[in-house]
Structure 1
């Protein structure tokens, strides 16, 4: 069931919840239990006609605003479990030492990685900005409910937040990559930029690395599916966005690479044009963003010209360019 010109009138009259797919029914139930009045499901809220993408184009331009005010429900499936860390009391032959011995807690260091970071929905490119830009995300993992917000990561077995050991692992605190959160945290703790490159540009490089390894059903969405992140970053950088990169350090950002290019299937070019071949957005597959610096650069971009099919320079999926060095 999906919204199309043909199904619009029937859907507008209302449908029985029981006639919806099980996933939608579960989503509705959870939304009601949380006391939230409205539920957004793309396939029922955006016209899905492949011969007319006008509604989809209109809604895709608003994603940064939409995600910024909502709670996202991710991946409603799987069986719930309560597997926790294991407490171990160190055995000691001496009675006094045994009394003084402290318990040791063993944790699964891959817990968050398996339940959240590598859950099927979170390896999809569109989900990156949904997960980052939404103030609150409730993950229905394979075995656990997990929670992400600006303050902490938590789960059913860790309701007060992940233990310190797990919270420090690379796959935790994903929402700190949100440009707005990063900028506010930086100001709150008094971090100042050292050296030539502001840390916000380094953050964008990190976002590109994370985003590029995710999958897209429609490769032409490459720039569109990260437009919300670019719009969130633009007022922080006060810079011009150029096909996935920024003008200030464009010479350095052009030096992106495809790691492991000797391995087959690691990266490829799409059959249909969507971005200049000097942009990382022209490649499908994992890339490493170029360093945002112009130090020791042997070229200087003097001028460039971009041609966009629409009015939104960040959300257009077909960007054509020429330039002078």
Structure 2
């Protein structure tokens, strides 16, 4: 049943009042009047429905039909209609099911559904699923009687019960995470809206967030940071001097996009000016960050451009390799995440205004949009596309995101923004990692024919690698450097970015150092578009080995193949089992391409010896890009086909008179049917290295559905071999192919 909260039609427009937070005055301007329809909505009565919306849970209460949005041209325009239009349901391709958006209606919900912090990224995860289940059917949250009323604009006329089926409940939660409508300055409400001014940061609120985190949060936020094992320099924001950091000084860090070289940079570099003092003219983001630090009561700022000597190769190496200590050691990290930040400063601080916050006044009640979620706010920011900035946010204890809309605060246990004021958090909420990398990605949905909609399986390294590899680097030579901070904090030891897996696993074969490394060679390209489209493939980075993800520019991840669909995998999904009673593979590191010419000054180094020699390091020294792998090998041919109706055409291994069940994922863009080189490709024989077979999980598939044998495809190049792709096979498919034990060089 829809509830109509309206006033008599003779009601007149309210008299507007004044004052900084009063309904009639925002930014010193008198608010325009509402249209007749919006004047007739009794918002005061709606905002008193706290018990009713709490009992309605995720169904909410339908208030009134709004018809089509945006509304036809009005003269003068109605600010309430504009507010409705700005916050209307608009998930686009992210919506899991189709919604009829020809008409909309106003719907009221309990603020609890927003306070618990269900985001689009976590809604399909285990924690998010438990939160949704508790809100829909439990009592832990819904017994709270201090909830407030929030308003949202949903599709449909609102004359029936909101469809919150299992498929649509995620869309509902995602929409409520976006800009909903809240009243401003309601003393009795635990949650209410806050005004966001275009050219004025509410520094009092920012200081409150940081102080609350420092005083009440757990060790991940408040542990005393480990200082870097070298002299760290910082900017004194009062004197603009560049000084060595003292043990008792707190400092802020800056994460921003350098952008193209500026004229003042050339002048500075040419004159070799005093590196103990900040130049008079610096990037606007740095200048604004200095202003922010001073307004937050701080004094010291670290930024790589001036706190690392860019002319000293050794200093750059030392500090780049310990970015984990620099960013985790900062009291907070200031993130310049505006859409034009490569050329300008922090939005709202000085010369760059924030976007207008949609708002309207009804009677003495000012209603505002709570503005987009942080992920949507970052959609048009250059910052979220850059490789270096990914580890800067992941490694930080606390982050302040300066976006085109507002400032967002995030730490390991809490998230805040200027537009939403929560005076007292829900007691029942459990701390979780709010600084989740899924919030800082521009990845699209995977191709339906290859990747499932299932929530990502938990494996921190895979998650970080996928998101990092989706970003861009100005210099491809930084492929590992821009990730070293995360590698240093990883639970895995790595070599050229490849982890040695199963450090906490007791499975017998998982103790073999060679297999621990070989299983991690199963990274694959992640196709976000048509799998045969060139833009979906990777581009070779010649400065890095082809067997490492660092050797390729583009998005990569770890997956397992089941039936006809790829699923993002957990580390334990790669656990190996014995393969046809064949001895496991062996791996050596060598500085020579040719395995038949070993000189005393270039010995073969068994991989497990390298691992044990440097077992005190998380990142092994990158001695050589060349490996020798002794393993079972195949000589295979490939076919080009569409296996099932509706599937895009792809390449498969030829097995007797048929094809492999799983398609090949090539790194290189392969010529399509009818293009030059396509037939030559099908006529060629390829080398396949059988690296391991995953342990069969009876809970996930029957033995005959177990596609668990990982084969690395290589091609000869200049006395060695280069990775070109990979494929997963079944045991039956392997029996139809000829195998031979060989030692293969790969670089």
Q: TM above 0.5, one fold? A: yes
Return closer, same or farther for 1:245/1:15 CA change in 2, 3 Å cut-off. closer
Partner of 1:56 in structure 2?
A: 316
Aligned partner (choices 383, 391, 402) of residue 121 of structure 1: 383
- Flag the 1:313–1:8 CA change in 2: closer, same or farther, 3 A: farther
Matched, 1:34 2:296: yes
What CA distance in whole angstroms lies between the structure 2 residues aligned with 1:21 and 1:204?
A: 34
Deviation, 1:123, is: 2.0
Q: CA deviation at 1:215?
A: 0.9
Contact 1:136/1:148 (<8 A) preserved: yes
Deviations 1:203-232 (A, max 9, x none): 211111111101111111111111111111
Instruction: Give the conservation status (yes or no) of the 8 Å contact 2:322–2:484.
Output: no
**Is the radius of gyration larger for structure 1 or structure 2?**
2
Three-state SS of the structure 1 residue aligned to 2:535 is: coil
In 2, the alpha carbon distance for the partners of 1:319 and 1:118 equals: 39
Structure ranking higher in strand proportion: 2
Could you tell me how far 1:116 is from its partner in structure 2?
3.6
CA RMSD of aligned residues (A): 3.9
- Name which of 290, 294, 297 aligns with 2:575: 294
Structure 1 segment 94-133 matched on structure 2, within 5 A: 111-116=373-378, 119-133=381-395
Could you tell me which residue of structure 2 aligns to residue 182 of structure 1? none
Pick the aligned partner of 1:10 from 274, 277, 293.
Answer: 274
State TM-score, norm by structure 2: 0.32
CA contact (8 A) 1:64 1:229 kept: yes
Secondary structure in 2 matching 1:278: coil
Distance 1:288 1:84 in 2: 39
Listed one character per residue, the Cα deviations across residues 154-210 of structure 1 (whole Å, up to 9, x for unaligned) are 21112449x99xx9xxxx9652459xxxxxxxxxxxxxxxxxxxx87x221111111
Q: Could you list the runs of 5+ residues in structure 1 that have no partner in the other structure?
A: 87-104, 179-198
Mapping for residues 211-290 of structure 1, pairs under 5 Å: 211-234=468-491, 239-248=492-501, 249-260=516-527, 261-274=531-544, 276-290=545-559
SS of the equivalent of 1:137 reads: strand
Inter-partner Cα distance in structure 1 for 2:534 and 2:356 = 40
Q: Secondary structure at the match of 1:216?
A: coil
Cα distance in structure 1, aligned partners of 2:536 and 2:628? 29
Q: 1:15 to 1:257 in 2, by over 3 A?
A: closer
1:146 aligned counterpart, secondary structure: strand
The structure-2 alpha-carbon separation of the partners of 1:143 and 1:8, relative to structure 1 and needing over 3 Å to count, comes to same
Instruction: Give the 3 Å change call, closer, same or farther, for CA 5–107 of structure 1 in structure 2.
Output: closer
Equivalent position SS for 1:29: helix
Kindly tell me: are residues 7 and 124 of structure 1, through their superposed partners in 2, closer, same or farther at Cα, counting changes over 3 Å?
A: same
Aligned mates of 1:111, 1:259 — CA distance in 2 = 26
Partner SS for 1:154: strand
Which structure carries more helix by proportion?
A: 1
TM-score by length of 1: 0.68
- The CA deviation string for residues 240-295 of structure 1, in whole angstroms up to 9 with x for no partner, is 31222222343332222213342223343345322x21111111011122543134
1:140 deviation in Å?
0.6
Tell me if 1:314 matches 2:653: no
Match of 2:420 in 1: 158
Corresponding residue for residue 194 of structure 1: none
Q: Which has the higher contact order (CA 8 A, sep 6+)?
A: 1
Counterpart CA distance in 1 for 2:546 and 2:500 is 17
Q: 1:279 to 1:21 in 2, by over 3 A?
A: closer
For 1:159 and 1:116, locate their aligned partners in 2 and report how far apart those are by CA, in whole Å.
Answer: 21
The match for 1:72 is 333
